[in-house]
């Protein structure tokens, strides 16, 4: 006789895999001779579980669904469900690996190669909505730091911040798919780095200017301002640190400035930064 944990395991596996028959205890309950009614009831329950998970994915990824159509999306979501079932009762967390799945799922990777990046961007927006609250910082906070040491400061970004880097116009594709812009405004030959942030009640999406992606990535990684500026300058020769830094403060992406060590003086960094 199987143990309780074995029965629960076979039940859970069968729920998410239509090719897996209903567990023996479901098909043949004690004292019952007819198996078909029990099997049919299990199949109905299994279908309801799958539909609920697929519907949740559709709510999380409306742009992905709009880009490929309802039929393609639901078939893809069912394939993802079989491979990666929900691990939490909180369905807003479900789909964290959907973008990775789309990148290697042949029907999507062949016909819609940008779909994976759009999915990652959408999931970042959802996580930003549920991120902890924090007050964004004003750029005036930099005025309290010795100008000779500004280049050595590091920043803490807002808890909702995420950076999406793509070789496709991922933010524009998302916006066009959700009705915020028209499809003829999307330049498919343009790569976009996108910033997601929720400084107050609303989740905002921004297309970063050239160089903004590596600059923000360095700040998120805890690099100081001078190192982050070098990352931006390596991507764009005419990188303007003042403009990029002011833009991040304006979006509410910066939540704190960590003063540099007292002995960190970089006299050449401040003029280059334009501060």
Q: Average pLDDT by consecutive 10-residue portion of the chain (275 residues)?
A: 59 58 55 54 63 92 97 96 86 92 96 97 96 96 90 96 98 96 95 97 97 98 97 95 97 92 54 37
The sign of the CA dihedral 23, 29, 32, 37 is: negative
DSSP class of residue 207? E
Q: How far apart are CA 70 and CA 73, in angstroms?
A: 5
* Alpha-carbon distances of 227 from 13, 162, 266, rounded to whole Å: 49, 20, 12
**What pLDDT is stored for residue 125 in this prediction?**
97
pLDDT at 19: 56
In the prediction, which pLDDT does 70 show?
Answer: 97
Token pair belonging to 250? 């304006």
**Can you read off the two tokens belonging to residue 203?**
């989740």
pLDDT for the residue 5: 65
* Alpha carbon 57 to chain centroid, angstroms: 13
- Asked whether the beta carbons of 81 and 91 are under 8 A apart, the reply is no
Token pair 């029965």: residue:
7
Q: Residue 206, SS3?
A: strand
Q: Say what the pLDDT of residue 128 is.
A: 97
Q: What is the pLDDT of residue 222?
A: 96
pTM for the model stands at 0.82
CB 23 within 8 A of CB 10: yes
Torsion-angle region of 22 (φ positive above 0: left; ψ -120 to 50: alpha; else: beta): beta
pLDDT of residue 225: 97
């Amino acid at each position: 006789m199987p143990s309780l944990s074995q029965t629960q395991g076979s039940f859970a596996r069968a729920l998410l895999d239509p090719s897996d028959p209903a567990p023996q205890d479901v098909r043949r309950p004690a004292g019952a001779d007819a198996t078909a009614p029990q099997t049919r009831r299990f199949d109905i329950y299994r279908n309801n579980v799958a539909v609920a998970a697929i519907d949740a994915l559709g709510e999380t990824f409306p742009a992905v669904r709009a880009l490929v159509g309802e039929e393609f999306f639901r078939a893809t979501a069912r394939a993802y469900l079989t491979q990666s079932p929900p691990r939490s009762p909180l369905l807003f967390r479900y789909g964290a690996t959907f973008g990775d799945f789309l990148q290697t799922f042949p029907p999507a990777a062949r016909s819609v190669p940008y779909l994976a990046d759009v999915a990652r961007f959408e999931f970042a927006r959802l996580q930003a909505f549920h991120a902890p609250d924090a007050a964004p910082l004003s750029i005036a906070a930099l005025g309290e730091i010795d100008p000779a040491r500004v280049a050595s400061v590091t920043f803490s970004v807002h808890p909702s911040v995420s950076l999406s880097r793509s070789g496709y116009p991922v933010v524009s594709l998302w916006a066009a798919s959700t009705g915020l812009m028209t499809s003829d405004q999307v330049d498919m030959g343009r790569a976009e780095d996108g910033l997601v942030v929720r400084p107050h009640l609303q989740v905002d999406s921004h297309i970063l200017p050239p160089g903004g992606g590596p600059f923000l990535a360095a700040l998120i990684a805890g690099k100081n301002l001078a190192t982050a500026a070098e990352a931006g300058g390596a991507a764009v020769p005419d990188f303007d640190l003042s403009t990029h830094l002011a833009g991040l403060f304006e979006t509410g992406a910066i939540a704190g400035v960590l003063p540099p060590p007292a002995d960190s003086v970089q006299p050449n960094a401040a003029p280059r930064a334009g501060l």
